[in-house]
Structure 1
Amino acid sequence: MTSLRLDIDKSFHGCDQNLELKKASCRNKDLDTVPQNLSEDTEVLDLSQNNITKLLNSSFEVYPLIYFLDISSNDVRAIESAAFYPFKGLKDLLLAFNPRLVLPATGVFMMSTQLSILDLTSSNLKSLPNDTLNWSPHLDTAYLWFNQLSFINVSSCGMADTVDMTGNRLQHLTARDFTFVCHTDTLDLSENPIQSVDPHVIASLHVRSLVLGGYPLSYEVLANIILGISKSNIGKLTISKGSVGAFPDGFFDLLRDSSLSVLSFIYNDLNSFHPLVFSNLTKLKQFTLSYNNLPIDEIQPDFFEGMKALKVLRIDDNKWLIDWLNEPIRLKNKDETIEETPASLESLRKKPLLDFEPNELCIINNGLFSLIPLVSISLVVISVLLYHYRWQLRYKLYLLKLAVLGFKEMRDARDHNDYEFDVNIIFYDDDEDNEEWIREQLRPALEERLPQFQRNVFGDQDLVVGMHYLDSVDYVVSHSYKTIIVLSRAAVHDHWFILKFRTAMDHVSDTLTEFVVVVFLENIPDDEMPFLARLYLSDGRPYIHWTEDVRGQDYFWDELTKNLTINLRTNDLIPNE
């Protein structure tokens, strides 16, 4: 059995040390100060989930070799300006989830020239010192998720691969409220309620990829974004999650000679646009309109006439493709126009688009529509009986499905012995009800029903010590045969839990396998259901509801056991349940 825990040398201070690996874990030890009696050659120090309120200039003087420091989930309120100066080789610094964090006005990271990861997630930051990102010549990622930043004045900066400001309070991308001079690969401003944009601010960005979305963007804001990009070196623009509804004719004309090569509008409410609105995007190489509401009746012969550089077009999950392919089609370079869909049409991947036979793969039974009134009346009559016998019926249907489809479903695409971990359980650690259910229900059930699964990861306490938190979550998800996500009302309101959910969802897309099972511990109102959960359910992925009904619990454990012992490839050709 592979263990995620340190081989520990206990000492009187209460922390766990691995002297050989130079690691110390003081996680959840009820500390209110940084311990001073650890090994002086410690390189990895975990101080997360304690009650530390201050970081003094003297706090780390005895630990100059630390390159990984986790102080997340404390109550750090004050940091003296030279607190991190002893660390000449600091690479990863995690200060996430300190709800009253205030950074020194200047110079706090002056000596951290090797800094690669800076995590300030959900720390209620209202301002960011202008030299925060200045001292490391090449920062990998700065996580500024879900703070209270309403303005940005980063006027001194080096280089950073990714600066993620998702979920802040930025309303105005103007000279007064937004100064950002970093040379950055990706700047993510999604989930910010942007109301005004100065094109000169966009044009001044040294950013390769700009990400926006999460709030509706007015026509004026969109127009100013496009105007700014036309004068910038931005190569990729992504606008998602209900931010865009329509484009007027000529909207993108300014981008004719711009540097923009990748344009994505995903998960928006686009339902129509002028046939030639994109025709002047002459340098665009990749164009995505996926997950919108486009009922395109036809594509004009000159629709792509001006898009001479276009190599990749993604228009999946819209409403029009089936009807369009049933009509006579004329394509230039038809043998070079190939299908690049995900696993839902895997048999067509890398084949010419005109090989697609919608009548074979996408059958729509119009007769069903005429039965809707009759079915509705019948459902009213029999609903009481169905409710009374619901668990017996579900169990019988489950057995029937196994009898009919079991042979195909049981052909595992992967074997659990091929992975480092068997089952990874993601749950909200700070909810006592969740922990009680895991301890009293799930653990015993797994031991009884799946004794072959011995390498299980239960929540944050079993994550890999010494890795950045998100990297550790990603590592465990990607190296587990199956992942269980336990949803509760408390969990869906926790930003950190949602980030872990998103990590699992990303791996579903990357691996094209249904290795994630969602367990609902309670009913969650629609207005509290997070976007990721709604998206997961809309794709028909495996999920189960826990119940206090004894017969229902028998069904629950049978269904969960089945889902944990098979690992199907995603296949949307089979109708969703």
Structure 2
Amino acid sequence: MASHSRTLLFGIIHMTFIIVGTTSLAAKEDPGRTDNGLSDHNPTNPGQGTSCYVDVSTRMVNCSHRGRTEVPGDIPSNAQILSLSYNLLQKIRNESFAHLKNLVDISLKYNVICAIEVGAFFELYLLQSVNLVGNRLSVLPSQLFSQNFYMTDIFLRDNNLTDVPDLYLKAPNLSFIDLGENSIKSANFRMHFATECNIMLIDLSNNHIKRIRESDLTNLNVCSNINLIDFSSNDISSIQPLSLHGMNVSGIRFRENPLFKKGVVEIFEATVKAPYVTYITLVRTRLPCLSADIFIPLETHALKTLSLSENNISSIPDNVFHYLTRLERLHLTDNKITVISPSGFNNLSSLEELFLDNCRVVSLKTPAETGVWEPPLRALSLGNNYLHEIPSKAFVGLKVLIYLTLHFNSIRVIHPDSFYGLASLEVLQMEDNLLISPLRFGTISTLITLDLSNSGINSLDPHNTFTGLSSLSELMLDNNYLHISDIWDNEGNISIFRDLRKLKKLDLSVNQLQSELPSGCFKGLHSLEQLNLQGMSLPRLNPDLFKGLANLQLISLDDNALKDLHPEIFHDQGNLFSLYLSRNPISSLDDQLFVRTKKLSVLSLSSTNIDVITEKTLGPLIPSLSTLDLSRKALSCNCKNNWLRNWIQNSSAEVLLDGTICSSASPQKLEGKPFEEFEPALYCGPKILLYSCISVVSVMIIAIMVLLYYNRWWMNYKCFLLKLCIIGYSEIVEDRDYEYDINIVFEDADEEWVNESLVPNIQEREPEVRLLVGDDMLPLGMYRLDAVAHVIDNSYKSVFIVSQSAIKDSWFLTKLRIALQHVNHAKRDAVLFVFMDDIADEDLPYLIRLLLSFNRPYLQWDADPRNQECFWELFTKSVRVTTKLNYTIPF
């Protein structure tokens, strides 16, 4: 916040309205600053004309779609990103980029380039990425990228290359080489690496390679770990046994090659020579059948993922995978397997995921017939098949199965013990089937998600269907034929949902519940957050229908027959965020309808009969409302909606008015015209009261409100300090033992202050505090994002050091987003901001402004030694204070 604005905030209360007006104008900052390096270039619209578009902040220059035949000579010398795509360049010369030594990324895709001179990129020492996709290159100079030490990506897809280019590379961080969609006939990888090689992906797909010889990939033996080599969509029919010898490659993909059985066996024999291969894709390789001898070469190999999808496999013989004891994922989708037998997967002692979707499966053999399932499966997918029945005890042996997918079948019969033995099942997807009653799921007490959408269900037993599912969190029953009697026993006043205490999402949309729902229908669902009652022709809602559902955040009532809503229908929904009432014949809204839904952000009233919306009705929502849908309806274009039209013109909320017209209650000139053409000033004359209110007091109030708005973060900070001084603080005692007390997040420019001032003061005041300072202390052995998420989740408080350099750092903002996700998940105030610099509101990143808008505390560092003792005392108190949140941050 600018310091002069704070001074004005207090001074204005004692000044006359003339001085107020003067100081308000003086407080505005000059927005005219530009970056010195690019300020002389005149940017144009990126999609028009022949001039290049320059983005000063990112140092990006866009010259695409300009009809250029040469590289422009007037590009700013400090440009870092240059796009010359979709032009008519034919040749790249040595001098084309000689004056652009700061270039990091060049895009030359979809030109007609047929030649590049050897020194074209020699002086671009910072170059990381070159995109030459869609040109006419048939050969490249071997020394073309020999001076580009920082190169990470080379895109040569869709050119006229007939061989892998003979390139000499000195780029240890090169990660991606794209050679797909050329006319390459040999797998001979002729690129030479002068330094270490860390390539992640080599794409040779969509070429004309017919075989892989022993010496073809020898140059890749210097690479420490290649994630994937993609040979998809070639003509490969054979691969020599030593072709992968000595390679450090994790995965190979041979999708859509005419390998047949012989070529598949050769690939497995070659894989043994590359001990780090963990996944192989053999999709559409014309493999006719499965036999145990195919997998003999893999007996001692640690293969973890194998995809045999989209082949001609028609059966799975018993013990056919006998040699794949280390396999963890097996894909057999899109084959012609009609019968699934547990014995077919014997000896897969490490298998966790099995995919059998779209295989034309018509029956499951039971363990009683062939023996129990042996693999320790955690996910089993049988979707898109022709199953008509789930036999009794069909999955015995799958004690650790978590995900079971049976959607898009023709299942009609489920026995009470069909899911017997699934002691760990959490997700059951059965949508798009033809289920008939009785349906019972009580044997799966661990179930969290149950999807029965569009399954033809026309009858449920309120007493037994969901009995025992105390852990269920999501239940989808939409697009069925349920009636009131299926979810409510009128004689015993029993709801089918009575045991679902942890249910958070319930979808009942598009059913036959065409009468008023009983008031106790959702009683006890205290955890419910999303309720979908769309498309059920409900004529009215019981006033007590949502009573007690205090955690509801979304209610959808679209496509019903509601003509009015009881004034107190939403009075228990203080956390409601989204409400959908579209396509209902509602004619008016009561003034008391939204008085207690002050967090409502999304309101949809499209295609309703409401023609007047009063300020008293919508007023309670205005501070929180972000989206208001008034499309496809008729509104009165008269003085009754005067305030609404003015609010729409001045509000920052998104108001949808597509197809909204002036109703018959409007002046004759406006009737049938778009609502946006309604100008209240022309039809609603000024009143004497408006003139009488123009006074010194009104001007001063407006000025104060403006300054309060521009200083809202600073006011929040002062209120937080006042609260600490008067009320003090209280520590929340939590059962959880956190690994770290304070996690300090900062940008490199602030490291000195953190190490020399912040950390010593914390350790002096709290000697036993457990600190985690910066990225250098992140846990080892994890990906960086995973490590950051782990630290934030296991820290009692995360302190973000906010400075001018930090708010421009994408990595800093990424860690902030992860912290906000943790706040939403944990529902506790676990983030504290410490501002090092005076930052104006408009310069703050969206995430920080969003968090501060929820009245979250923050601290401001003061370099004055006289104020520092107070700062450290407040900091010590702040990191101890934490509160439970009763809302979700909508980012």
Range of TM-score over shorter length: 0.5 to 0.7
- Are the structure 2 counterparts of residues 14 and 253 from structure 1 closer, same or farther at C-alpha, using a change threshold of 3 Å? same
Tell me which residue corresponds to 2:526: none
CA contact (8 A) 2:319 2:346 kept: no
Task: Name the SS of the counterpart of 2:51 in structure 1.
Answer: coil
CA contact (8 A) 1:266 1:288 kept: yes
Q: Which moved more, 1:275-284 or 1:404-413?
A: 404-413
Deviation of 1:249 (Å): 3.1
Tell me which residue corresponds to 1:9: 43
Whether 1:407 aligns to 2:535 is yes
Write the mapping of 1:478-517 to structure 2, written as runs, cut at 5 A: none
Letter in 2 for 1:164: D
CA contact (8 A) 2:54 2:61 kept: yes
Correspondent of 1:317 among 349, 353, 358: 358
Letter in 2 for 1:165: L
Tell me which residue corresponds to 2:267: 225
CA contact (8 A) 1:97 1:122 kept: yes
Tell me which residue corresponds to 1:138: 173
Task: Name the SS of the counterpart of 1:45 in structure 2.
Answer: strand
Correspondent of 1:169 among 194, 204, 208: 208
Correspondent of 2:300 among 257, 274, 281: 257
Deviation of 1:147 (Å): 0.6
Q: Could you give the per-residue CA deviations for residues 175-205 of structure 1, whole angstroms, max 9, x where no partner exists?
A: 3655551441111111011022101103443
Measure the CA separation in 1 of the matches of 2:626 and 2:190: 46
CA contact (8 A) 1:44 1:66 kept: yes
RMSD (Å), alpha carbons: 4.2
CA contact (8 A) 2:251 2:277 kept: yes
Correspondent of 2:102 among 65, 72, 85: 65
- Are the structure 2 counterparts of residues 449 and 265 from structure 1 closer, same or farther at C-alpha, using a change threshold of 3 Å? farther
Q: Could you give the per-residue CA deviations for residues 69-106 of structure 1, whole angstroms, max 9, x where no partner exists?
A: 011111111111121112111122110000244211x1
Tell me which residue corresponds to 2:405: 341
In structure 2, stretches of 5+ residues that fail to align are 1-40, 366-388, 410-418, 436-451, 457-509, 515-532, 537-555, 560-577, 581-601, 605-624, 628-655, 662-673, 675-891
Tell me which residue corresponds to 2:85: 48
CA contact (8 A) 2:85 2:111 kept: yes
Task: Name the SS of the counterpart of 1:209 in structure 2.
Answer: strand
CA contact (8 A) 1:230 1:259 kept: no
Tell me which residue corresponds to 1:116: 152
Deviation of 1:111 (Å): 1.8
Write the mapping of 1:124-203 to structure 2, written as runs, cut at 5 A: 124-131=160-167, 134-151=169-186, 152-154=188-190, 156-157=192-193, 158-175=197-214, 179=218, 181=220, 182=223, 183-203=225-245
- Are the structure 2 counterparts of residues 238 and 90 from structure 1 closer, same or farther at C-alpha, using a change threshold of 3 Å? same
Deviation of 1:165 (Å): 1.3
Point out the structure with max Rg over C-alpha.
Answer: 2
CA contact (8 A) 2:312 2:335 kept: yes
Q: Which moved more, 1:410-419 or 1:313-322?
A: 410-419
Letter in 2 for 1:206: N
Q: Could you give the per-residue CA deviations for residues 126-154 of structure 1, whole angstroms, max 9, x where no partner exists?
A: 1223436x322122322222111111323
Tell me which residue corresponds to 1:33: 70
Measure the CA separation in 2 of the matches of 1:172 and 1:128: 14
- Are the structure 2 counterparts of residues 449 and 99 from structure 1 closer, same or farther at C-alpha, using a change threshold of 3 Å? farther
Letter in 2 for 1:32: T
Measure the CA separation in 2 of the matches of 1:272 and 1:77: 51
- In the superposition, the TM-score normalised over structure 2's length comes to 0.38
Measure the CA separation in 1 of the matches of 2:101 and 2:285: 48
Whether 1:237 aligns to 2:301 is no
CA contact (8 A) 1:76 1:101 kept: no
CA contact (8 A) 1:180 1:205 kept: no
Measure the CA separation in 2 of the matches of 1:418 and 1:242: 52
Measure the CA separation in 1 of the matches of 2:236 and 2:246: 18
Task: Name the SS of the counterpart of 1:138 in structure 2.
Answer: coil
Tell me which residue corresponds to 2:20: none
CA contact (8 A) 1:81 1:107 kept: yes
Task: Name the SS of the counterpart of 2:227 in structure 1.
Answer: strand
CA contact (8 A) 1:217 1:244 kept: yes
Task: Name the SS of the counterpart of 1:60 in structure 2.
Answer: coil
Q: Could you give the per-residue CA deviations for residues 384-440 of structure 1, whole angstroms, max 9, x where no partner exists?
A: xxxxxxxxxxxxxxxx99x99972796999989999xxxxxxxxxxxxxxxxxxxxx
Task: Name the SS of the counterpart of 1:150 in structure 2.
Answer: coil
Measure the CA separation in 2 of the matches of 1:165 and 1:363: 44
Tell me the number of residue pairs that the alignment of Structure 1 and Structure 2 aligns: 381
Task: Name the SS of the counterpart of 1:245 in structure 2.
Answer: coil
CA contact (8 A) 2:408 2:430 kept: no
Task: Name the SS of the counterpart of 1:17 in structure 2.
Answer: strand
Write the mapping of 1:514-525 to structure 2, written as runs, cut at 5 A: none
Measure the CA separation in 2 of the matches of 1:161 and 1:265: 23
Measure the CA separation in 2 of the matches of 1:355 and 1:14: 55
Tell me which residue corresponds to 2:290: 247
Deviation of 1:238 (Å): 1.0
Tell me which residue corresponds to 1:571: none
In structure 1, stretches of 5+ residues that fail to align are 1-6, 365-399, 420-445, 453-577
Tell me which residue corresponds to 2:562: none
Letter in 1 for 2:403: E
Correspondent of 1:89 among 121, 126, 140: 126
Deviation of 1:342 (Å): 8.9
Q: Could you give the per-residue CA deviations for residues 231-262 of structure 1, whole angstroms, max 9, x where no partner exists?
A: 32211111113542312232112211102111
CA contact (8 A) 1:335 1:352 kept: no
Letter in 1 for 2:402: I
Whether 1:351 aligns to 2:425 is yes
Tell me which residue corresponds to 2:143: 107
Task: Name the SS of the counterpart of 1:226 in structure 2.
Answer: helix
- Are the structure 2 counterparts of residues 340 and 211 from structure 1 closer, same or farther at C-alpha, using a change threshold of 3 Å? farther
Letter in 2 for 1:174: R
CA contact (8 A) 1:89 1:114 kept: yes
- In the superposition, the TM-score normalised over structure 1's length comes to 0.58
Tell me which residue corresponds to 2:309: 266
Measure the CA separation in 2 of the matches of 1:450 and 1:192: 55
Letter in 2 for 1:161: M
CA contact (8 A) 1:17 1:24 kept: yes
Write the mapping of 1:325-474 to structure 2, written as runs, cut at 5 A: 326-329=390-393, 333-341=397-405, 351=425, 360=435, 407=535
Tell me which residue corresponds to 1:288: 331
Q: Could you give the per-residue CA deviations for residues 297-336 of structure 1, whole angstroms, max 9, x where no partner exists?
A: 5332xx4442222222222222226544644546564331
Deviation of 1:118 (Å): 1.6
Tell me which residue corresponds to 2:258: 216
Task: Name the SS of the counterpart of 1:334 in structure 2.
Answer: coil
Q: Which moved more, 1:200-209 or 1:178-187?
A: 178-187
Which structure shows the higher helix fraction?
1
CA contact (8 A) 1:187 1:209 kept: yes
Give percent identity, aligned residues only.
20
- Are the structure 2 counterparts of residues 13 and 298 from structure 1 closer, same or farther at C-alpha, using a change threshold of 3 Å? closer
Measure the CA separation in 2 of the matches of 1:238 and 1:167: 15
Whether 1:277 aligns to 2:320 is yes
Whether 1:24 aligns to 2:67 is no
